[in-house]
Structure 1
Amino acid sequence: MQILDSYIKATNTHDFKQVKKLLHPKAVYFFSDQTCTCHEEIQQYFENAWSIVKNENYEAHDVEWLDQKESSATCIYTYFYEGYINDEYICGKGRATNIFVKEADRWLLVHEHLSS
């Protein structure tokens, strides 16, 4: 589905305004170290990560759509990231689950769960 590609592309802009356009008003994120339950918390988490990992690139590999309906879709994938911390190249990967809902003919991310 195009919404996942759009979400990854928005994330890689490092501009939360672009990410927020694709978030449901009640979006909830489960990160490995924190749960974010509102856009302000999600924004703070993203912007903190972008300030630590410079030039970060985020990708979704091995995407599997578990369920696709008219108004909801769920996928799992392996996430991959790379960038620089203190001028040293770093990279890593983990597991992700994303749930999207369709409202007013727009797909929005309502939940993301990341684990290393």
Structure 2
Amino acid sequence: MEETESLGVELDAFMAEYGKLTNAHDVGRLRELIADDASYWFTDGSYEGVEAIADAVQRTFDEIRDEVYTISDLRWVHVSADFAVVRYRFHWAGLVDGQQREGRGRGTNALARRNGRWQMLHEHLST
């Protein structure tokens, strides 16, 4: 039980860092948390590999100015020493074409521990 709790704390910290870097709009540092072979499914399309994902995220940062992105209601569906799955709710708010906009939806992420550190292996966001 202690190992699972310890993993939960570690994984929660990873997701908090992921959210922090998303809100910093720092694709360079955010990409360090994404596996080279990751896949992301967004409302506007699907992206394979860290380069394509980083480009898609940067386009979002460019489109939504001053965005604030939050995740809540994290539920760890599966946790093991090297693999974890989490589902959650997300909310974003920012300026699109100079107008205040916001949205919300659901997310699911698969994380893998590689070379001793957690990385995003898959993200699926839906609105």
What TM-score bracket applies, with the shorter chain setting the length?
over 0.9
Answer whether contact 2:35 2:50 (CA < 8 A) is retained: no
What pairs up with 1:14-93 in 2 under 5 angstroms? 14-93=25-104
Map of 2:5 onto structure 1: none
Is the counterpart of residue 111 in structure 1 residue 122 in structure 2?
A: yes
Q: Which has the higher helix share?
A: 2
TM-score, structure 2 as length reference: 0.87
- Residue 17 of structure 1 and its aligned partner are, at CA, apart by 0.6
Answer whether contact 1:11 1:18 (CA < 8 A) is retained: no
Is the counterpart of residue 8 in structure 1 residue 19 in structure 2?
A: yes
Aligned residues: 116
TM-score, structure 1 as length reference: 0.95
Which consecutive unaligned segments of at least 5 residues does structure 1 have? none
Query: 96, 99, 104: which one pairs with 2:107?
Result: 96
- Residue 25 of structure 1 and its aligned partner are, at CA, apart by 1.3
Larger Rg: 2
- Residue 42 of structure 1 and its aligned partner are, at CA, apart by 0.8
- Whichever residue aligns with residue 33 of structure 1, its letter is D
In structure 2, C-alpha distance between the alignment counterparts of 1:115 and 1:107, rounded to whole Å: 23
In structure 2, C-alpha distance between the alignment counterparts of 1:86 and 1:110, rounded to whole Å: 32
The percentage of aligned residue pairs carrying the same residue is 28
RMSD: 0.9
